[in-house]
Amino acid sequence: MIRRFTASLLAIAVIAVSAATASATLFDLPLDGNDSTQKWTDLSGGTLHFGSYPGTANWPSPVAAQSGAGTASLNKVANNGGNTSGPYPSSTGIYFGGTSTTSNVYGGTLAVSESAPVTNLQTVVLQVDIQEALGYDFYNGAAPRLYLNGSEVALDATYTLKLQEVPSGTYTPPGETEAQPLYRNTWLFQWDLSGYSSISSFSIEFDGVEHAYLYSLQLDQTDAAYGAAVVPEPSTWSLLALVGFGSAILVCRKRRLATA
């Protein structure tokens, strides 16, 4: 992989790989009702055993959740814009491959899909542990979208929260001399599905930027409805603030993430 990088691209790779030394957390949520939690906690090539640079090949099969009861899976939907590279399991996580040295370049699309949701599904929450590249994690800063029953209904998240922002190095934008911080982020996206019935399946799609890393995911679903955003258990949240990695909660209704 490194042999094919220019000097500039090698610098990007080193920045991204160094983020593996930072740590981020998936949080237990205080869910009521009949609920289900599924996690993907190791998305490295050492565990998944497929894929290599440039990552354009289809995944041999969706990646089932690594813990929790349910039928959810993670799969690749699309490669980058030129179909010259794509998301694949690298040594530390799923890497959105590419050769661009520009910020905010589309690196591919992944989807978390559930074929057998909780009965009378009311609330879905997805946590995403993702490392920025050149100041971005999601392409155009756009939050994931949820699709019900195939593509029957497309929904933006009802609430978007940044639960954690862990410093993970710096980068210098092209043409500039001042270094900017990089972060490994834990995002929470929540959908209110109380207005929908006969939900037979759903899929959540999100776009990463080139050189971003996806480390872990958590999918929660329940038949309980919430009028506000679900937040982590108080003890976990307090510990997060204590160690200094907690950022202010960003609560948004049906809007895009703030761009860097």
pLDDT attached to residue 25 = 86
Using 70 as the pLDDT threshold, list the residues of the chain that sit under it.
Answer: 1-22, 235-260
Residue 127 contacts residue 115 (beta carbons within 8 Å): no
Contacts of 157 (CB under 8 A, 6+ apart): 143, 144, 145, 146, 189, 190, 191, 252, 254
Q: What is the 3-state secondary structure (H, E, C) of the chain?
A: CHHHCCHHHHHHHHHHHHHHHCCCCCCCCCCCCCEEEEEECCCCHHHHCCCCCCCCCCCCCCEECCECCCCCEEEEEECCCCCCCCEEECCCCEEECCCCCCCCCEEEEEEEEECCCCCCCCEEEEEEEEECECCECEHHHCCCEEEECCCCEEEECCEEEEEEEEEEEEECCCCCCCCEEEEEEEEEEEEECCCCCCCCCEEEEEEEECCCEEEEEEEEEECCCCCCCCCCCHHHHHHHHHCCCCCCCCCECCCCCCCC
Predicted confidence at residue 214, as pLDDT, reads 98
Q: Which of 85, 87, 203 is nearest to 137 (CA)?
A: 87
Residue 249 pLDDT? 44
Residue 118's closest CA among 228, 39, 229, 224? 224
- The reported pLDDT for the residue numbered 24 is 77
- Give Rg (Cα) of the chain: 18
Q: Whole-model pTM?
A: 0.85
Domain boundaries, the chain: 2-242
Q: In whole angstroms, give the CA distance from residue 44 to residue 129.
A: 13
pLDDT at position 258, please?
A: 41
pLDDT value of residue 246: 38
Beta bridge partners of 154: 147
36 CB neighbour count, 10 Å cutoff: 21
Report pLDDT for 3.
Answer: 30
Per the CB < 8 A criterion, the answer to whether 92 and 213 are in contact is yes
Rounded Cα–Cα distance for residues 46 and 206 (Å): 24
d(CA 71, CA 27): 20
